[in-house]
Amino acid sequence: GRAPRGPEPASSGTRGGFSFLPPARGALEVGEVPVGCLLVYEGRVLGEGRNEVNETKNATRHAEMVAIDQVLDWCRQNNKNHEEVFSNSVLYVTVEPCIMCAAARFGGCGSVLSISSDDMVDTGEPFECISGYYAKEAVELLKAFYRQENPNAPKSKVRKKDRRK
């Protein structure tokens, strides 16, 4: 079965009583693309992730993958079946998950490909995707990221400050 839908979001950046914007803010503070997520099972946060791509120099360390790894660890430590846990979990994420994260279970929620649809082959059970919560806040975090200079960019790709005007 699917995890129940939570109540309507509060104004503090929460959904279902869980705050999912702070991990994204944490990513921005360390120069990562500001994506944050929570994986909640039976009312308990089992995974909290933020992008760690730049700091780990690993392109797969998206927020969702970090949270998934935490849930897998929890399942091993608590002798729980990860398939049951994931199928009954709720994912809260600041932006639509990419196709890599969709393949892990989530995402592709309609902008390019609708992984959540039961018309897809071999994607597991269909799931409900509700979008638009805290879209303004998520967009503002992304804008803040793209206004700053990328410290990992090659020198030839670094924007000149006078060109940004």
CA separation for the pair 25, 21 (Å, rounded) = 6
In whole angstroms, how large is the CA radius of gyration of the chain?
A: 17
Q: What SS3 state is found at 47?
A: strand
List C-alpha distances in Å: 59 to 9, 21, 56, 64, 95: 31, 22, 8, 12, 17
List the structure tokens of 64. 């969702």
Using alpha carbons only, what angle is made at residue 105 by residues 59 and 10, rounded to the nearest 5 degrees?
Answer: 95
The one catalytic residue in 32, 64, 96, 125 is: 64
Concerning whether 64 is annotated as a catalytic residue, the answer is yes
Residues with active-site annotation: 64
